Amino acid sequence: MSDLIQLLPDSVANQIAAGEVVQRPASVVKELMENSIDAESTEIKVVVKEAGKNLIQIIDNGKGMSDTDARMAFERHATSKIREANDLFALSTMGFRGEALASIAAVAQVELKTRTANEELGTHIVIAGSKVESQQPVQCTIGTQIIVKNLFFNIPARRRFLKRNSTELRHITNEFQRVALANPQIDFSLIHNDVTLFVLPKSNYRQRITHLIGKQINSQLISVSTQTPLISINGFIGKPQAARKATGDQFFFVNNRYMRHPYFHKAVMVAYENLLPVGTNPSYFLFLEVDPDIIDVNIHPTKTEIKFEDEKSIWHILSAAIRESLGKNSVIPSIDFDTTDSIAIPVAGRAGEIIEPVIEVDPTFNPFEKGQKTSSSGGNGGGNSGFQKENIDGWEQLYSGLEQQNFDSAESSTEHTNTDTEPKQQSTFTSGDNGQQHTSGRLFQLKNRYILTSVKSGLMLIDQRRAQERILFEQFMEAIKTKKNTTQKTLFPEELLFSGDDASLLHEIVDDLNAFGLQVEEAEEGKFIIYGLPGHLEDISGKNIIDGILSDYKTGEINLGEKVKEQISKSMAKKAAIPYGKSLSSVEMNELFDRLFACSEPSYSPSGKLIVSIIGNEELDRLFG
Ligand code: ADP
Ligand code: MG
């Protein structure tokens, strides 16, 4: 029997290798752009026709290649970037496998013109399907131009496999964006079928992002900067309210190379937790710098998956960095202010700075009397003068149970003292400037929905319901953490019957509910009995809370998983928060105000909606022309 094993001809081997590197026109664009960057170009022009299927041309002004190098560059494993195996581990350039040009030339018709600064004449190589057709001297500028025509001309099956132009072009713009974002110091342009898609002048990171993503993003960017011995993280993240349903504006770069990293993505998402509406994604543009020794970029042929040593530590550093930036920026409402100096921040509960409201009790006040008197609003401006006793009752009960747990201060009580709400967590609300409190505690209610107050920078509006959701949510979470939740036994246990999904969800979360002080037991399949309610929620029936949780589950706002307690907190806060349309007394408004600004995240409701907005002084002035 004759031997069966034969060596593949080089051209076939190259084609096979090309399959790894060149999946579609966008891969060619990426590899060639990276080569141009490695060649220290300051200007890179990308021209494509028919989404790169017919033509991809890259023109750079980098250092170019000598005649021999130009010829060598197309050999497989030809690279100027590594000399020995050790170099593989300490690489800072983009390419290093020496495969790109060989692979591209194996599956397309390629023309290269290149010249170095030392040479008078450049060199011109024509190569197709790995065969060199010609090499001649040529007049050209310093730098390199490559034209890649008819990709996969010699592998019809692969060519047919390419997607519609719109799809392939999207892949190209994605790659172009990634490279451009990481290299703002370089001029880039992208032209498709003679239409200029991007012209990106040399700039800084923020400008580059704005040029690429659109002007509107500029005011939504929060900067991130953290340096540790293990890693340094710089870049920008989007404000929560700019988050969108679509994914796409999420970018990680490591040592200036774009990477995908689902695990680190999670770290970012965790930092945004409870600040985003369900199903939306924040933008981020994060540049990680690490010692090249601790990463392995070689695990994937297209090199977007990167493995780090000690990913866990990086996860924590990353998440903390994002949280810190979000915290610093939490006060800035969506409508304004790029200039931080003009933002006046009300300082909640700085003892002695806020004038305690004077509450005069009118002993003759009778809530049932027609044409209620404007009682009690003495020192409080009396914007809302309908002091209705039942409001106070319902309102303060919501807090009574948690008083001790959340505000350690001994003075803490349901009496409004303004001294018991030192913010627990460092946030920009604790800005130490004097005289930035809302003027002498004057709070006004508008449409039984918003609370208004004057702050240094303008008119502050607070959405009362969202504010309360935030307050309750943080209280629930705190109570869970400290395990100090109290239960108020109900006089008559409430029996609830559920079937199907509802029953199995409840079955899953029954322990979690108990952790909140909602004492509920599964008596038999589908039958649940409520014996007690969280101490601070006497007003609401257990059934009501559970119905709320079930309906959030059905609309997808609750997913069973590790964060289920948090989601239940959200759901309960939503259910327990006072509805709009409730008129609030000055005392209640002050209470709400102080509690809100004692929260770690006063600007957004647990589901990511804006709570606080400021109409700036300038805008107010403009109103009056
Ligand atoms: P790698 O980038 O992995 O080294 P490539 O096949 O992409 O492999 O490129 C091979 C070599 O060709 C590079 O190492 C570099 O020396 C040279 N080269 C490629 N493109 C350019 C360019 N635009 N300007 C100058 N040199 C280049
Ligand atoms: Mg390369």
251-273 pLDDT per residue, tens:
999 998 899 898 999 999 989 98
Look at residue 174 and tell me whether its pLDDT is greater than 80. Answer: yes
Domain with residue 211: its CATH number is 3.30.230.10
88: number of Cβ within 10 Å: 15
Q: Are 178 and 302 in the same domain?
A: no
Q: Provide the residue type at 328 as one letter.
A: K
Q: Are 112 and 227 in the same domain?
A: no
Residues 6+ apart with CB under 8 A from 141: 61, 115
139-162 mean pLDDT: 93
Structure tokens given for 90: 């300490």
- Residue 314: inside a domain: yes
- pLDDT bin (cut points 50, 70, 90) of residue 72 is very high
List the beta bridge partners of residue 612: 462
Of 575 and 103, the structure prediction assigns the larger pLDDT to 103
Q: Are 600 and 480 in the same domain?
A: yes
- Residue 133: inside a domain: yes
Q: Which of 41-45, 362-366, 566-570 has the lowest mean pLDDT?
A: 362-366
Q: Are 242 and 152 in the same domain?
A: no
447: number of Cβ within 10 Å: 9
Ligand 1 atom index nearest CA of 101: 6
- Residue 416: inside a domain: no
273-287 mean pLDDT: 88
Q: Are 159 and 15 in the same domain?
A: yes
CA nearest 36: which of 106, 89, 112?
Answer: 112
Considering its fold, how many domains does the chain have in total?
3
Nearest CA to ligand 1 atom 7: 100
- Ligand 1 centroid–CA 160 distance in Å is 29
Q: What is the CA radius of gyration of the chain?
A: 32
- Ligand 2 centroid–CA 78 distance in Å is 10
- Angle 207-220-451 (CA atoms, 0-180°, nearest 5)? 155
CA nearest 428: which of 340, 355, 366?
Answer: 340
Q: Which of 141-155, 345-359, 540-554, 611-625 has the lowest mean pLDDT?
A: 345-359
DSSP letters, 80-109, are SS-SSGGGGGG--SS--SS-HHHHHHHSSE
CA gap 162, 515 in Å, rounded: 55
Cβ atoms of 379 and 571 closer than 8 Å? no
Of 602 and 3, the structure prediction assigns the larger pLDDT to 602
Structure tokens given for 239: 């404000």
Q: Which of 64-78, 91-105, 233-247, 503-517 has the lowest mean pLDDT?
A: 91-105
Q: Are 477 and 498 in the same domain?
A: yes
CA 206 to chain centre: 16
Q: Which of 310-314, 344-348, 563-567 has the lowest mean pLDDT?
A: 344-348
Q: Are 103 and 160 in the same domain?
A: yes
Q: Are 129 and 217 in the same domain?
A: no
Return the pLDDT at 225. Answer: 93
- pLDDT bin (cut points 50, 70, 90) of residue 250 is very high
Whether residue 275 has its Cβ less than 6 Å from ligand 1 = no
Return the pLDDT at 383. Answer: 35
- Ligand 1 centroid–CA 79 distance in Å is 6
CA nearest 524: which of 503, 545, 551?
Answer: 503
Whether residue 96 has its Cβ less than 6 Å from ligand 1 = yes
Of 110 and 351, the structure prediction assigns the larger pLDDT to 110
Cβ atoms of 584 and 464 closer than 8 Å? yes
In the block, tokens 């009501």 appear at 544
Cβ atoms of 71 and 124 closer than 8 Å? no
Of 411 and 526, the structure prediction assigns the larger pLDDT to 526
Whether residue 39 has its Cβ less than 6 Å from ligand 1 = yes
Ligand 1 atom index nearest CA of 78: 10
Return the pLDDT at 299. Answer: 56
- pLDDT bin (cut points 50, 70, 90) of residue 340 is very low
Look at residue 403 and tell me whether its pLDDT is greater than 60. Answer: no
Look at residue 371 and tell me whether its pLDDT is greater than 80. Answer: no
- Residue 262: inside a domain: yes
- pLDDT bin (cut points 50, 70, 90) of residue 338 is very low
Look at residue 353 and tell me whether its pLDDT is greater than 50. Answer: no
Return the pLDDT at 354. Answer: 39
The ligand with the least distance to the CA atom of 96 is 1
CA nearest 45: which of 184, 213, 219, 187?
Answer: 187
Q: Which of 105-109, 292-296, 587-591, 592-596 has the lowest mean pLDDT?
A: 292-296
Q: Which of 38-42, 368-372, 483-487, 556-560 has the lowest mean pLDDT?
A: 368-372
Return the pLDDT at 433. Answer: 32
Ligand 1 atom index nearest CA of 143: 24
Domain end marker among 143, 178, 200: 200
The ligand with the least distance to the CA atom of 114 is 1
Q: Are 321 and 184 in the same domain?
A: no
CA gap 120, 112 in Å, rounded: 17
Rank 16-20, 167-171, 296-300, 594-598 by mean pLDDT and report only the highest: 167-171
Whether residue 82 has its Cβ less than 6 Å from ligand 1 = no
CA gap 310, 475 in Å, rounded: 34
Greatest Cα pair distance, the chain, in angstroms, is 116
339-362 mean pLDDT: 38
Percent of the chain with pLDDT over 70: 73
Percent of the chain with pLDDT over 90: 35
- Ligand 2 centroid–CA 105 distance in Å is 13
- Residue 341: inside a domain: no
- pLDDT bin (cut points 50, 70, 90) of residue 301 is low
Of 71 and 91, the structure prediction assigns the larger pLDDT to 71
Domain with residue 63: its CATH number is 3.30.565.10
Cβ atoms of 240 and 323 closer than 8 Å? no
Q: Where are the beta strands (DSSP E) in 420-457?
A: 444-446, 450-455
What is the signed CA dihedral for 474, 476, 478, 482, rounded to 10 degrees?
A: 180
Whether residue 122 has its Cβ less than 6 Å from ligand 1 = no
Average pLDDT along the chain: 77
- Residue 222: inside a domain: yes
- Residue 497: inside a domain: yes
Of 285 and 605, the structure prediction assigns the larger pLDDT to 285
Of 521 and 537, the structure prediction assigns the larger pLDDT to 521
Domain end marker among 156, 176, 200: 200
Look at residue 418 and tell me whether its pLDDT is greater than 90. Answer: no
Task: Please give the backbone phi and psi of residue 138, each rounded to the nearest 5 degrees, phi first.
Answer: -150, 150
- pLDDT bin (cut points 50, 70, 90) of residue 624 is confident
Q: Which of 322-326, 408-412, 606-610 has the lowest mean pLDDT?
A: 408-412
Helix axes 500-515, 542-554, angle to 10 degrees: 120
Specify the pTM.
Answer: 0.59
- pLDDT bin (cut points 50, 70, 90) of residue 197 is very high
163-177 mean pLDDT: 94
Domain end marker among 281, 300, 328: 328
- Ligand 1 centroid–CA 538 distance in Å is 72
For the chain, report the end-to-end CA distance as a whole number of angstroms.
99
Q: Which domain holds residue 449?
A: 437-615
Look at residue 172 and tell me whether its pLDDT is greater than 60. Answer: yes
Nearest CA to ligand 1 atom 8: 98
Look at residue 81 and tell me whether its pLDDT is greater than 80. Answer: no
Q: Are 185 and 254 in the same domain?
A: no
Return the pLDDT at 534. Answer: 78
Q: Are 186 and 209 in the same domain?
A: no
Ligand 1 atom index nearest CA of 34: 2
Domain with residue 522: its CATH number is 3.30.1370.100
- Residue 256: inside a domain: yes
Q: Are 51 and 81 in the same domain?
A: yes
- pLDDT bin (cut points 50, 70, 90) of residue 298 is low
588-593 mean pLDDT: 86
Of 386 and 232, the structure prediction assigns the larger pLDDT to 232
Q: Which of 173-187, 227-241, 510-524 has the lowest mean pLDDT?
A: 510-524
